[in-house]
């Protein structure tokens, strides 16, 4: 049933699962109908398959693309933002996201992007061997078709009240999983559209990326503590099914990251380690390049958090591998 359209008629909201690469398999797009028109949240990655899926969804939901009044993006990742430009050209609707998230699309895929070289340099500095780094350029390039054409973007700001599905939703900036990530809260009904800020079953990836948020884990945990303040009856996430144990899930995620920080601190107590050594110590080496990139950037996110908290210090060695040492 997971890959079926699922209507929450009492909320004017429909969950539309759009296919994407494994292991996630699909991303949740949400279609909200109200007097303001049709809002589509996070249309998915752009592939031939998702184009065909959206044609089918439009038929099934009896939607005319011209009735789409806005396309709203929670964050810049290809599985959420990717199809925005295509859907904009098809429907003529404006695409909204945060200014910071838009900056990230340019950092990742803009004409002046140096992300691919910078990421290679960062991973090399932190000890990733050549057999892995050699796979990075082609891997990073493979996302380009998923995010084209580029959307023309208008901005939503923290605290804005957005009309969707005939109700008012508050935009809340929830960075950490992605800079400028937005969640949307309907206070009257206790509904939270939380993108990838909080997911059931999956621990959202928290990645250190060059030139981006220098303390992503701190941002992520601060966002979780902010979200914990809201009364949430039902949360609509970017992946998997809607869930009601929002506060409980947030506590679990906070606990998970505290425990992982302790595990890494214990690793460093034994010996100085490179970022890559910590990464493979945590996640092993039996990963594809996609999972390895998440694992490596997640290990680095934890290491810079330990550094920020004063438990570790980084010894950058000119032309050699940087090491993290217990402080
Ligand atoms: Zn994401
Ligand atoms: Zn996602």
- Ligand number nearest to the C-alpha of 28: 2
Fold of 6-116+142-255: Metallo-beta-lactamase; Chain A (3.60.15)
Per-residue pLDDT of the chain (327 residues; tens, 9 = 90+): 345 899 999 999 999 999 998 888 999 999 999 999 999 999 999 999 999 999 999 999 999 999 999 999 999 999 999 999 999 999 999 999 999 999 999 999 999 999 999 999 999 999 999 999 999 999 999 999 999 999 999 999 999 999 999 999 999 999 999 999 999 999 999 999 999 999 999 999 999 999 999 999 999 999 999 999 999 999 999 999 999 999 999 999 999 999 999 999 999 999 999 999 999 999 999 999 999 999 999 999 999 999 999 999 999 877 789 999 998
CA of 277 to the centre of ligand 1 (A): 25
pLDDT of residue 11: 94
In order of 102, 148, 301, the CA distances from 155 in angstroms are 8, 19, 28
Q: Domain segments of the chain: what residues? A: 6-116+142-255
Give Cα separations from 195 to 77, 79, 148, 178, 242 (angstroms). 11, 11, 21, 10, 11
Looking at the DSSP assignment, which residues form a beta bridge with residue 35?
A: none
Q: Quote the tokens at residue 43.
A: 């249309």
Residue 184 Cα to ligand 1 middle (Å) = 15
Q: How many angstroms is it from 181 CA to the middle of ligand 2? A: 11
Percent composition of the chain: helix, strand, coil (DSSP 3-state, to 5): 40, 20, 40
pLDDT of residue 22: 86
Cα 174 to ligand 2 centre (Å)? 14
pLDDT in the model for residue 23: 85
- Taking the CA of 237 as reference, the closest ligand is 2
Q: From the CA of 67, how far away is ligand 1's center (Å)?
A: 27
Q: Give the pLDDT score at 3.
A: 58
Cα(315) to centroid(ligand 1), Å? 31
Helix and strand tally (H, E) in the chain?
11, 14
Ligand whose nearest atom lies closest to the CA of 294: 1
Residue 198 phi/psi, 5-degree rounding, is -135, 125
């Amino acid at each position: 049933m997971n890959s079926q359209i699922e209507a929450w008629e009492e909320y004017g909201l429909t969950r539309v699962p759009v296919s994407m690469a494994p292991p996630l398999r699909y991303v949740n797009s949400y279609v909200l109908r109200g007097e303001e028109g049709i809002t589509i949240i996070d249309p998915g990655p752009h592939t031939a398959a998702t184009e065909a899926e959206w044609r089918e969804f439009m038929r099934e939901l009896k939607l005319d693309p011209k009735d789409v009044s806005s396309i709203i993006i929670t964050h810049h990742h290809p599985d959420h933002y990717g199809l925005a430009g295509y859907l904009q050209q098809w429907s003529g609707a404006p695409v909204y996201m945060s200014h910071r998230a838009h900056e990230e699309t340019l950092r990742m895929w803009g004409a002046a992007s140096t992300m691919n070289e910078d990421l290679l340099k960062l991973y090399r500095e932190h000890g990733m061997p050549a057999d892995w780094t050699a796979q990075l350029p082609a891997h990073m390039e493979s996302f380009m078709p998923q995010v084209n054409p580029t959307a023309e973007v208008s901005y939503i700001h923290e605290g804005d009240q957005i009309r969707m599905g005939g109700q008012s939703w508050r935009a809340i900036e929830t960075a950490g999983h992605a800079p400028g990530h937005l969640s949307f809260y309907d206070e009257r009904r206790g509904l939270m559209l939380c993108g990838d800020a909080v997911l059931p079953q999956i621990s959202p990836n928290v990645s250190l990326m060059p030139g981006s948020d220098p303390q992503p884990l701190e941002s992520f945990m601060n966002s979780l503590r902010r979200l914990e303040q809201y009364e949430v009856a039902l949360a609509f996430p970017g992946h998997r099914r809607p869930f009601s144990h929002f506060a409980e899930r947030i506590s679990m995620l906070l606990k998970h990251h505290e425990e992982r920080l302790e595990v890494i601190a214990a690793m460093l107590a034994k010996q100085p380690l490179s970022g890559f050594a910590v990464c493979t110590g945590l996640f092993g080496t039996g990963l594809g390049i996609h999972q390895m990139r998440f694992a490596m950037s997640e290990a680095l996110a934890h290491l810079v958090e330990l550094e920020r908290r004063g438990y570790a210090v980084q010894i950058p060695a000119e032309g050699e591998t940087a090491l993290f040492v217990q402080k």
